[in-house]
């Protein structure tokens, strides 16, 4: 049974969130006075469901119109796992969230008419993921919708953090996505094209249809690139059974199919030798798979292996200690400094390289394989003037302003910010970046500093989560006034229901900048 104190915290938080959705706060810092009138709610049906400073410059560019490039992704149907989250309080809480979302507001879609497109915008946002949409909403309130544009080719926007639960059969893939048109702030121009070049010295970008678009301020929110092809045998290996990956809309349901089809043998989970988004996800699916095997009577036939290129299970000692206890209790095998370099899907074999002894490899047969792909900055950034030596957008870690170009900013996974790449980090960054931009627009020096806050809800079962929250220094920065290193049902409910609610209804509208205020309230202003 969930302790009453945890339920009260969640209900209070949820009620507060629902009220903000119905009555969003005014923005007094934009220079446009009270701007509640500019807020246009666009909430659809409830989703059970988880990604781009300045001096004034005067670019002179030829006019152009954006192209229409659509990317449609078909998702497969799946049979959800009927999981029981026990207790009437839990069911009451879930019903509360559903009710709150349904009543939040009517559905209004953005329709970006190409005839209205311009060749210059005061604020140009590259990327229509979590960071891009969030900042577009915030910039709309600062400079007006007609002066903001988002460059994004994809027709669908996904809440990717929920894919962990989709891969384990606890959520439907269909609940994780919505049309991009429905999340673009109304009135903001949606340029359906792909960025192929950035020219910050001339304050312009080029798209894949040969068009040139100039800007006064640029926000880069292009996310992170999945490099499955860097593993020999992939991505073609996904055409075979027994293999999946929760990191792609095309392969997440294959994880659930592999889990269901498991009979006996090795269940292998990997972590690559590169930066990744949501660094906890590769092991979350391991814990969920172990729980599924127990529920279905297959645990005694499963040898669960986590092969990670890292040297520790988690980067924050407090949570690492808690995870080590779970690993020991559930008899899970963890091998460090092991990097997946090849998949022989036709033979159900995975090849790993020992990073401590380069060139030394090991072949392991599998009955189930979950692949976390190598990741890197998007190709368009790697050779761009805005990138650092590793290809990430080179920004100040406190203000998110570019180190060389004062009218360029970065947010989210594409930046070189030394913190974990998560949606929670993007939320916290968005509030800081919004304030940074507002001051730069007034020719003032940014003062508000990002502390590296990020969060990783470590799902350890179908109704348990360890909520890890920490800063740049890998020190816990917890929101709730109880030990978050403990597995809790309340934190699972927050991960599965409250966080998607906040994402769709507040964060993407520019009204959620992370839980800093709640943290101060719950800790009585002491932290």
Q: Is 456 a catalytic residue?
A: yes
Of 337, 334, 186, nearest to 268 by C-alpha is 334
Interatomic CA distance for residues 136 and 144, integer angstroms? 10
- DSSP state for residue 344 in the 8-state scheme: E
User: Which residue, chain included where needed, has tokens 């400094």?
Assistant: 337
**Which of 139, 184, 190, 136 is closest to 157 using CA atoms?**
184
CA 33 to chain centroid: 32
- Say how far apart CA 200 and CA 198 lie, in whole Å: 6
**Contact yes or no for 166/283 (Cβ under 8 A):** no
Residue 321: both structure tokens together: 């200690």
Nearest to 83 by CA among 459, 423, 369: 459
Of the residues 67, 95, 204, 278, which is catalytic?
A: 278
Peptide bond into 235 cis (omega under 30): yes
Q: What is the DSSP string of 30-82?
A: SSSS--GGG------S-------------------------B-------PPP-
> In this structure, what DSSP letter does residue 169 have?
T
> Does residue 278 have an active-site annotation?
yes
Burial class (CB in 10 A: 0-12, 13-18, 19+), 144: middle
Q: Are 131 and 52 in contact (CB under 8 A)?
A: yes
Residue 503 CA to residue 277 CA, distance in Å, equals 17
Largest CA distance in the chain: 69
Q: Give 414's strand partners.
A: none
Q: Single out the catalytic residue among 95, 204, 414, 456.
A: 456
d(CA 514, CA 527) in angstroms, rounded, equals 15
- Those residues whose C-beta lies under 8 Å from the C-beta of residue 389, and which sit 6 or more positions away, are none
Instruction: Using alpha carbons, list the distances in angstroms from residue 96 to 23, 105, 365.
Output: 18, 16, 46
Using a 10 angstrom Cβ sphere, with 0-12 exposed, 13-18 middle and 19 or more buried, the burial of residue 481 is: middle
Q: State the catalytic residues.
A: 278, 456
């Amino acid at each position: 049974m969930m302790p009453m104190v945890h339920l009260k915290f969640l209900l209070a938080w949820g009620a507060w969130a629902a009220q903000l959705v119905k009555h969003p706060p005014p923005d007094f810092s934009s220079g446009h006075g009270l701007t509640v009138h500019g807020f246009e709610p666009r909430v659809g049906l409830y989703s059970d469901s988880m990604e781009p400073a300045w001096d004034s410059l005067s670019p002179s560019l030829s006019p152009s119109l954006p192209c229409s490039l659509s990317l449609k992704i078909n998702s497969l149907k799946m049979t959800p796992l009927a999981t029981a989250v026990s207790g009437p309080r839990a069911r009451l809480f879930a019903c509360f969230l559903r009710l709150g979302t349904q009543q939040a507001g009517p559905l209004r879609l953005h329709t970006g008419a190409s005839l209205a497109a311009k060749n210059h915008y005061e604020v140009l946002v590259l990327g229509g993921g979590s960071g891009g949409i969030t900042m577009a909403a915030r910039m709309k309130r600062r400079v007006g919708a007609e002066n903001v544009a988002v460059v994004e080719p994809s027709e669908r926007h996904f809440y990717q953090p929920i894919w962990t639960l989709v891969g384990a059969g606890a959520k439907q893939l269909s609940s994780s996505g919505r049309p991009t048109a429905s999340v673009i702030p109304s009135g903001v121009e949606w340029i359906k094209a792909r960025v192929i070049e950035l020219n910050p010295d001339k304050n312009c970008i080029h798209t894949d249809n040969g068009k040139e678009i100039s800007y006064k301020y640029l926000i880069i929110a292009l996310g992170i690139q999945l490099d499955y092809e860097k593993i020999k045998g992939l991505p073609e290996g996904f055409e075979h059974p027994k293999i999946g990956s929760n990191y792609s809309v095309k392969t997440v349901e294959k994880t659930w199919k592999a889990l269901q089809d498991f009979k006996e043998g090795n269940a292998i989970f990997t972590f690559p030798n590169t930066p990744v988004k949501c660094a906890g996800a590769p092991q979350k699916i391991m814990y969920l798979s172990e729980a599924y095997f127990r529920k279905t009577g297959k645990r005694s036939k499963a040898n669960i292996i986590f092969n990670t290129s890292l040297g520790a299970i988690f980067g924050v000692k407090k949570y690492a200690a808690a995870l080590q206890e779970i690993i020991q209790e559930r008899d899970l095998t963890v091998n460090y400094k092991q990097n997946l370099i090849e998949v022989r899907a036709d033979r159900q074999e995975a090849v790993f390289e020992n990073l401590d002894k380069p060139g030394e490899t090991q072949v392991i047969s599998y009955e189930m394989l979950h692949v976390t792909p190598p990741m890197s900055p998007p190709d368009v950034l790697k050779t761009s003037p805005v990138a650092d030596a590793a290809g990430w957008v080179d920004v100040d870690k406190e203000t998110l302003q570019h180190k060389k170009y004062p009218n360029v900013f970065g947010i989210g996974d594409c930046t070189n910010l030394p913190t974990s790449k998560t949606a929670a980090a993007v939320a916290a960054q968005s509030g800081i970046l919004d304030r940074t931009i507002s001051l730069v627009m007034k020719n003032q020096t940014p003062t508000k500093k990002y502390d590296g806050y990020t969060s990783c809800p470590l799902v350890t079962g179908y109704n348990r989560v360890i909520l890890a929250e920490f800063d740049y220094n890998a020190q816990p920065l917890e929101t709730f006034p109880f030990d978050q290193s403990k597995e809790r049902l309340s934190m699972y409910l927050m991960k599965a229901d409250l966080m998607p609610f906040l994402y769709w209804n507040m964060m993407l509208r520019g009204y959620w900048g992370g839980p800093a205020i709640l943290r101060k309230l719950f800790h009585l202003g002491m932290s």
